[in-house]
Structure formats: structure tokens, C-alpha cells
Structure 1
Amino acid sequence: MTATDTRPVLQIDIVSDVVCPWCIVGFLQLDQALAQTGALAKLRWHPFELNPQMGPEGQNLREHIMEKYGSTPAQSAEARARLTGIGADLGFAFNFTDDSRIVNTFAAHQLLDWAEGQGRQHPLKLALFAAYFTQGVDVSDAAVLLDVVKSAGLDRAAAEAALASGAHQAAVREKQKFWTQHGISGVPSMVFGGKYLLTGAQGADTYAQVIQRCLAEAA
């Protein structure tokens, strides 16, 4: 965007969790839609925990999915294969293994809240998706999180201090409460221009339609 660019900037709020595969799929589809439409957007990520009660030890991903959704081992494997294919089409690598684990993400959300104040929330969010799904690391582990913070161009020591202080815990809880009170029970949930809500990974074409509608209204 240049100093003479008068195009409107569309606010897009994305409620998501970093261990939600459809959240990164939905974002990449949204990214395609923004490229298709040539729209300018300001993205803002908001916290949602798929498993707020998950203990520090985590749980085997396959076992967790089978328990939570009642799926069979074959259905679980089929779902992971489908996601892997969708991710590949979008240029993202899902590297699921039999040892993949679901973990608690509260600490990750605290660091995302901190990173927003540093103007680096978006790159950290994408780095966390890659760390969990592509690299297969434990994004509930503080040392791992701080490595990801550094990779996203943020100060590791400052992040460590922010996490250790617990200064962002209340803010994350408050933001989670805000969205659940406004009816958000599944992710990704995207709000376009403060008006239009889409839940789930809806595809680039659907996102493009909503973007164009918002831009037409702004004009």
C-alpha cells in the first residue's frame, strides 16, 4: 500500500487455536481470497482453546480425536490424510504421525497476546501453526514456545519475562470469554468488517465473495 493508495482496509477478526488444523487451512484460503480480490486487510487473531482442560502431558492425537468425536481408527486416519492433501494444495505441510499429540495452548495464546503489542502477532501465529503441524513440536513447552518466538523475529528474553509474569493471562481469558459470549463455539470463526461471520474453513471463493461485499459496501 502506497501513500496515495485510497483503497479501504478491511478488518478481519479471526478466532482460532494454534492446534486447530482447519484454522490454518481457513487462513490460507482467506489469503488466496485476498490475493484474488486485491483487497487490503488488517488481520487480528483472537484466542480460542479447543481443549482448555488439557493437562501438561497432552494426549495422543489419534486417541484424543477418537474419544472426542467417536471416530474409528480408520476414520481418524482418513481425516488426517484428507487434511494432508488439502494442506499440500495450499502449500502447507501437515506432518501427522502416530505419535502426534494434542496439547494445552494457553501459554501460546498468552504469547500471541504479548506479540500483538509488539506488532508481530501475525508472524508468530503462522510460526506456531508451522511449529505444531509441520515440525511436530510441543507448543505447550515454554522452551519450544520461546524458540518459535525468536524465529518470528521477536525478543526471546522479553517473551520469557512476559510469560513468566503471567501478565497476559487475564487478557486472554477475557478475550476468550468475549467471543464465547458472542456465540463462537467452533473455529476458525472469521468476522469480516465487524459484520459478517463465517465459521469453519469456507474456501477461497466464499471468502472472496464476502470480501467483495464488504468492499462494495465501503465504497
Structure 2
Amino acid sequence: MATLNSTKLHIDIVSDVVCPWCVIGYRQLAKALDASGTDYELHWHPFELNPNMPPEGQNLREHIAEKYGATPEQSQENRLRMAQAGNDVGFEFSFADDMRMHNTFNVHQLLHWADQQGRMHDLKQALFAAHFTHRRNLSDNNVLAEVAAETGLERTEALAILADQRFANEVRAAESAWVSKGISSVPAVIFNHRHLVSGAQGVENFTRILEQLAAAED
């Protein structure tokens, strides 16, 4: 297989931590990258699935029913499908009837801060697990600060950032920039600033995409 080792593959991923297919898609892509030996650099970018969600969040089943018109049976089928897809790439979903959807604007501010310290990727993965595996309350700033501390960031500073909203403008600008480029759903994966791939494509499809990019590079 041809690889992209001569030049690093630039990967941008626009996503939200309460998007199940975002973590599944990333894990699929990561397996394809590892198997292909591709040399790459990855950058995460903010997107809010529910920018108008109230701070306290909403029951997930109710949210899915309101937003997508899904019946309880359809919702359960989707959960089972996502759980299997997660299991295939080593990620555990622990869905429950009391699980909640959250407003993630504060989450993205914390990720912006973590990026300044080279820790965004670690925090992103920890937040995926906090929400989907451990069902922690991402609407609670104390919980967000605890997750940040667990990844080696300063808890007190995390709380201060969330209290004074110092990165609000930067996050809004970043979100708007991606929307202006036509991103309306996530995950959105952009290779080398020009090749957009939407959704969780599966390991095999991501592998084929990497092969095509390597062939074009050669």
C-alpha cells in the first residue's frame, strides 16, 4: 500500500462531544491510519449540535423524539446499532433512559483552552467517554473541570475559564467559520484542506480513502 509518509496528511475534524457518530468515526479513522502507517497531524474543531439547548440539558429520548421524530422503538434500534459500532472500534456506549443531551458551548471553550497547552486531543477523548460511557453531567462546570483535571489540566484554571467565558468569542468565531464553509452536520473530516468526508465511513472506507490520497500524492 502506498503511504503518505513523504508529507504529513493534514486532517481537520469538525465535531461535538455529544455526537455518537463523531467518536465512532474518529475511532474508525484512527484504526485505518494506524493500519496504513500514514504520517498525519490531526486538528479538532468545534461544532454545536444543539446551540439552543438550555443549560440544564434535556432527556436524550425526549430530545431525539423532538428533533428527529424518532419513536421509542427507533431510538432503541439506533442505540443498539451505535453500541455495536462503538464496540467494533473499542468504545463503550452506556445508554440509559435517564441519559441527557447537553449544551456544549462550555465544553468547546474548555477544549479551546486545552489546545493552547497541546492537550485538546486528550481532553476530547476524555469528554467522549465522560458523556457516553460514564454518563457524567457535561452541563455541570464542576464535572467539566474534573474531567480536565483527570487529563492533567489545572482544575482551578478550568473553573475560572468557564466562569468568565474568556474564550467565548474565539469559539463562536471558529464555529461560524466552519458553518460558512458549508459544514452543517458532523463528523466532518477534511483531508489536506480540500477533501471533505462526512459521517462515520467505516474502517474499510477510510482505508480506501487513505489509499486514494496516497496514490494522488505519489
TM-score with structure 1 length normalisation?
0.94
Instruction: State how far apart, in whole Å, the 2-side matches of 1:74 and 1:98 are.
Output: 13
Higher mean C-alpha displacement, 207-216 vs 34-43: 207-216
Residues 3-46 of structure 1 show CA distances to partners (whole Å, capped at 9, x for unaligned) of xxx64211100000000000000000001110121102111110
Aligned equivalent of 2:212: 213
Aligned partners of 1:205, 1:8: CA distance in 2, in Å?
Answer: 23
- Show the counterpart of 1:96: 95
- Across the two proteins, how many residue pairs are aligned to each other? 214
- Residues 108-129 of structure 1, C-alpha deviations (whole Å, 9 max, x = no match): 0000011110000000000000
User: 1:1-219 maps to which residues of 2 (within 5 A)?
Assistant: 7-219=6-218
Tell me how far 1:213 sits from its aligned partner. 2.7
Question: What percentage of residue pairs aligned between the two structures are identical?
Answer: 50
Q: Which moved more, 1:129-138 or 1:80-89?
A: 80-89
Contact 2:56–2:139, Cα closer than 8 Å, also in 1: no
> What is the rounded CA distance, in whole Å, between the counterparts of 1:217 and 1:78 in structure 2?
39
Partner of 1:3: none
| Mean CA deviation greater in 99-108 or 82-91 | 82-91
The 8 Å contact of residues 95 and 132 in structure 2, kept in 1 or not, is answered as yes
How much has 1:159 moved relative to structure 2? 1.9
User: What RMSD, in angstroms, separates the aligned Cα atoms of the two structures?
Assistant: 1.2
- Give ranges in structure 1 of 5+ residues lacking alignment: 1-5
1:183-207 CA deviation, whole Å, 9 max, x = no partner?
1000000001111101111111222
**2:156 & 2:53 partners in 1: Cα distance?**
27
Where do 4+ consecutive residues of structure 1 move more than 6 Å? none
- Which blocks of at least 5 consecutive residues in structure 2 are unaligned? none
Is contact 1:193–1:214 with CA below 8 Å preserved after alignment?
no
Q: 2:183 is paired with a residue of what secondary structure?
A: coil
Q: Is the 8 A contact 2:112 2:167 kept in 1?
A: yes
